[in-house]
Structure formats: C-alpha cells, structure tokens
C-alpha cells in the first residue's frame, strides 16, 4: 500500500511537470502558434520596414510579419488575382484606389503614413555635368533609368516630370525601364545608366550614388503612401495592429530616418 501511494504521487508529479512544461512555451494568446501577417509593400519601403519589423515583433511576439516587396502596380494586380495578403502598402493612391473600387480593401482601414520626393541620381564616382532635371536632354547621355510608368509609381511620377519639362518624347530612345524603383537604383550603381530617377528615400540607402537634383513638388502628383487591410484578410485584427504601429510616432520616426516625410 505504501509503495502504491508513492507510485501514485510520483505519477501525479510527472503529470504536473509535463503540464507546466507545455504551458511555459505558449505565447501570450495562449497558443503555441504565431499569427503570420502577410504584407505586400512597395519596394521603396524595403529598408524602413526591415527595421520596423524587428521592433514590431518585439512588441507583439505573437505575430510574425512576412513581406512581399515589388512595384505597387504589380502588387495590386497580385491581390486582384487572389494572392495572399493581409495588408497592402502602396507608393501611390492610384493603385490603392483601384483596389478600393473593386472592394478588395477594407475602406475604413485606409490611411496615409508617409510622403516622398523624386531625385535625379548619378554614380558617385562619375563626373556628371548634368546639375538639374532641366538639363537632362541637353547633355550627351546614353541611358536614363526610370521605373516602368505603367506599373511603377516612381516611373509614373518621373514621366509626369519629364512631360512637364517637355522632354519626355525626345528621351524615348535613352530610357532604361526598371520593374521597380530598386532596380532603377541598381542600374545607376552598376553604371548601366549614367542617370536615374528614384525616390529620395532610395537614394539615401545607397553609398554608390549621389543626388544631382530634386524634382519640384508641383511637377508631379503628390507622392503619398497609403496603407490598408485587404478584404480577404483572415487576420484583420493583427493587421490593424501593424498599420497602427506604422502610423505611430515610433513608426514615423523610423520612416523619417530612411528619407520619408
């Protein structure tokens, strides 16, 4: 009887210990599994979001952020085709408007969290005689890199600038089109294009290029970054936490460090 009592007590202790071990690994939500929030974001946000990801996941350990970077136009198209995304962060209102018209985003969740500007860049170790956008067509350059106007907001803004300066048509045979603004930056860094047009935030991320000139704000539509939760998101609550964090003082401080207004 004595041995049997000890055996039962030992079994009870084992069960208690096992229960304690299983509970100790649980997250604050009471589940071992983390919630994955998929974010489709404009390529120009890459560096800022990489930093924000670390601080956000430290504050919300139950949430894992997964990013899909690309041109806003192509990302919007992916969402239209049913690609998984909980949040869409665009580099233009135009691409967000298209999704809103098709009821593919939650309208009430939409907000603007950043602004940007366009700059003309050249390779840092290259002597560029061009000192402004107005002079692009007067200089002997072979290639000007810019985003594809149909799918890349930066390309669309660049086209507006060049049309405003009445040099769009005359530059057609010199244009090198990138699939997103980061590819445009790479073209200039590698020397495949003497000049390029990117966002000020992108130029700031590279130590291989220099800013030659900044486009005046009234030469193009305002460059704003809207964000919204997609209509088919299965994690709208967690997605809202991220959007709120992005628009918070801490989020704005990080964005400012990376060249966003």
**206-226 residue pLDDT tens:** 999 999 999 999 999 999 999
Nearest residue to 70 via CA among 13, 168, 10, 152: 152
Judge whether 45 and 254 are in contact, CB under 8 Å: no
Helices (H), the chain: 2-24, 46-59, 72-80, 93-101, 153-164, 181-189, 200-204, 236-246, 249-257
CATH classification (class only), 35-115+224-257 = alpha beta
Q: Which of 19-33, 95-109, 213-227 has the lowest mean pLDDT?
A: 19-33
Q: Is 193 annotated as a binding residue?
A: no
Degrees, nearest 5: CA angle 112-118-119: 150
Confidence of residue 32 (pLDDT cuts 50, 70, 90): low
72 is in an annotated binding site: yes
pTM of the model: 0.83
- How many residues make up the chain in this entry? 261
Q: Structure tokens of 76?
A: 């919007």
User: Residue 40 annotated as binding?
Assistant: no
pLDDT of residue 25 exceeding 80, the answer is: no
The reply, when asked if residue 60 is annotated as ligand binding, is no
Asked if the domains 35-115+224-257 and 118-219 are classified in one and the same CATH topology, the answer is yes
Average pLDDT over residues 225-229: 99
Closest CA to 73 of 103, 40, 46, 116: 40
pLDDT at 131: 84
- 63-70: strand order across its sheet: 63-70, 35-42, 87-89, 224-229, 111-115
Asked if pLDDT for residue 203 goes beyond 80, the answer is yes
**118-219 homologous superfamily:** Periplasmic binding protein-like II (3.40.190.10)
- What are the E-state strand segments in 100-160? 111-115, 118-123, 144-147
Pick the closest to residue 42 from 118, 154, 143 (CA basis).
154
pLDDT number for residue 31: 56
User: Is-contact 223 157, C-beta < 8 A?
Assistant: yes
| Per-residue DSSP letter, 172 | G
Locate the domains of the chain by residue range: 35-115+224-257, 118-219
Instruction: Report the b/e string of 145-180 with b at 16+ CB within 10 A.
Output: bbbbbebbbbbbbbbbbbeebebbeeeeebbbbbbb
Token pair, residue 242, equals 């991220």
Is 31 or 193 the better-scoring residue by pLDDT?
Answer: 193
pLDDT of 13: 38
- Is residue 44 a known part of a binding site? yes
Q: With contact defined as beta carbons under 8 Å apart, do 147 and 71 qualify?
A: yes
């Amino acid at each position: 009887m004595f041995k049997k009592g000890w055996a039962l007590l030992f079994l009870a202790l084992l069960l208690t210990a096992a229960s304690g071990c299983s509970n100790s690994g649980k997250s604050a939500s009471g589940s071992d599994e983390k919630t994955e929030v998929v974010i489709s974001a404009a390529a120009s946000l890459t560096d800022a979001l990489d930093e924000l990801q670390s601080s956000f996941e430290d504050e919300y350990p139950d949430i894992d952020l997964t990013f899909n970077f690309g041109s806003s136009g192509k990302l919007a198209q992916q969402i239209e085709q049913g690609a998984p995304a909980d949040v869409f962060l665009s580099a233009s209102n135009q691409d967000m408007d298209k999704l809103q018209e098709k009821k593919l985003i939650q309208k009430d969740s939409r907000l603007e969290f950043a602004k940007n500007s366009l700059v003309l860049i050249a390779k840092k170790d290259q002597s560029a005689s061009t000192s402004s956008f107005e002079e692009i067509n007067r200089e002997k350059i072979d290639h000007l890199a810019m985003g594809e106007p149909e799918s890349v907001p930066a390309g669309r803004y660049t086209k507006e600038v060049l049309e405003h300066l009445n040099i769009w048509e005359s530059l057609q045979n010199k244009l090198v089109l990138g699939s997103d603004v980061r590819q445009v930056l790479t073209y200039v860094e590698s020397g495949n294009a003497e000049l390029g047009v990117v966002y000020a935030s992108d130029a700031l991320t590279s130590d291989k290029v220099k800013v030659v000139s900044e486009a005046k704000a009234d030469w193009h539509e305002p460059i704003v970054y809207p964000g919204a939760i997609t209509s088919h998101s299965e994690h709208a609550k967690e997605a809202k936490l991220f959007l709120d964090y992005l628009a918070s003082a801490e989020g704005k401080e990080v964005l400012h460090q990376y060249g966003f207004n």
